[in-house]
Amino acid sequence: MSDPRIAAIPDVHGHAKGEHRPYTEERPIAYSARMLFLWFYHACRRESPRFLMVADHANYLTFEDPGAVNTVRRALKLAQAGDLLGAAETAGVDVPLAATVSEGLRRGMHFSIGAEIDNDPRARPDAQNIVDAMRPDGIIRSVHFVPIHHPEKGADWLWPFDNEEFSGLHELVGAEKLWELYIAKLLDDLDKLPAHVVGHFYVPATFGRWPSNKKLEEYEDRMLDVAHRRGLAVEINTRFLYREHPDDRKKKYLEANARLVRKAKARGVGIAIGSDAHSPKDQGNGFDQILKLLDDARINELVFPVAGRLARVALRATREHLEAQAQARRQASAPGSSITGFSRAELGLPEEPETGGLRPSGRSARDIGPKKRAGASARTSKRPAAPASSGASSSRRSTDSSSSASKAKAAKLAKAAPSKKKQPKEHKPAKRSSSRRKASPPARPVPKRSSGGSGAQKATPRKSTAPKSSTRKPAPKKSAAKKPASRRLAKPKARKAGYAKKSIKKKKSAAKRR
């Protein structure tokens, strides 16, 4: 390969499901992860094209396609990460093949998976739902059928005008009528249906059927206006250049594409290149002729669909690209904080080298920890510090004053500590003696009121509780509950009552029953 830029031209149009079959024998073909992985493997083996997208026809779609697409995407991620065994097992290929793809991805190759959606009547009615489930990187919108009045099939029969099996109808329809029907259908689909790239605009001229130059340029302008309004790109298809066609037809085809490229550049419409390969050997085929066409039009940037957007690929690093890259390096990027949460990679900062737990300054891990707040002289606060007066008063304390203040505080705490300890000792014995004196009078009349033996038996546990309360430490609580012993009729709902109170209540209930 003479010019290295040929490998950098993105190939946005390829068919991994193979060559066309006879019209009546074509059936839906299911994707498999192995099929897609091998399609990308051949590009990695040749190291060209570096940007490759597979986009099969709508009539080949099946329900298995979204699952296979997601599987091969996972396999490509594993290969890019260097997990050769995982990529090989996921895609169902041998490890050496996965190693080749991994090496290509690490060199900067990019692979996308899209779809070519047309108006094929053989396509499933839910074809768009299958395409949406695939999450395509790009959609190529094209037209392969136009409605005509067939002498045997009748009116509104969809004619595959680019199929050699039905080439005899060109004499019946004519080039002018064909292009008129084609442009009407194409512009209507571009306006109403999802798309990213306008596919092979000159496909009606496959068998040399061209309209007049005036009409052709009018059609080109109308299509470019729609593409510019909707943000679409225009594909330059090279399949016509490496297939068996006369040289005069290829020359006219190149002239038409050169004019289309100049018009697209003037309108700001993106340009995409597609080989329309149905076999891996045709990937990037005919790109050498397209490179001359791009150089004549002074076009250096092409588009490549990635995740539903049109990314731009530069074929040659110009002065503008180098200056923009240098400017990006010169701009100081502010590092992220805990509030923003941006990593150094997202901010474009280089990764910090691992120093084995030590900083370049050589400090230990103990010194690297969080620092104390700066003093009043180093801190910056919202309120400015008041200027120190020239007199003796100052907000800063000397070492002697601070030590004397600490000694005074220690002395106050030492004096306050014993006083707090003496207070509970002085009051506790007084409360115990008073509780004993007040509790003794109601204890005597209890056996007099209840003459039965049951009263004497119930009074015994109360006498036993008196010595227990004297031995326990939390006796003040019980004595406080025993104080209103004479008022038990006024406050019958006291919850802090001891065993003696409950026994007295039981005696009352027994006496009333008797």
- Per-residue pLDDT, averaged over 85-112, amounts to 94
Q: How far apart are CA 75 and CA 68, in angstroms?
A: 10
pLDDT of residue 360: 44
Give per-residue pLDDT as tens, 120-161: 999 988 888 999 999 999 999 999 999 999 888 889 999 999
The pLDDT of residue 323: 72
The answer, yes or no, to whether residue 487 has pLDDT greater than 60, is no
Asked whether residue 465 carries a pLDDT value surpassing 80, the answer given is no
Q: 3-state DSSP call for residue 272?
A: strand
Quote the pLDDT of residue 471: 45
The domain spans of the chain are 5-328, 441-514
Its pTM stands at: 0.64
**Integer Cα distance of 226 and 232 in angstroms:** 8
The mean of the pLDDT values for the chain is 77
Longest dimension (CA), the chain: 140
CATH class of the domain whose range is 5-328: alpha beta
What pairs with residue 55 in β-bridges?
Answer: 114
Q: Hey, is 71 helix, strand or coil?
A: helix
Q: What is the pLDDT of residue 131?
A: 92
Q: Where are the alpha helices (DSSP H) in 122-238?
A: 127-134, 170-173, 175-192, 213-230
Long-range contacts of 457-461 (CB under 8 A, 24+ apart): 458/503, 458/506, 458/507, 459/503, 459/507, 461/499, 461/500, 461/503
More confident residue, 60 or 513: 60
Cross-strand bridge partners of residue 277: 14
CA-angle at 278, arms to 272 and 281, nearest 5°: 90
Q: In the prediction, which pLDDT does 468 show?
A: 46
CA distance 340 to 338: 6
Lowest mean pLDDT, pick from 33-47, 59-73, 272-286, 475-489: 475-489
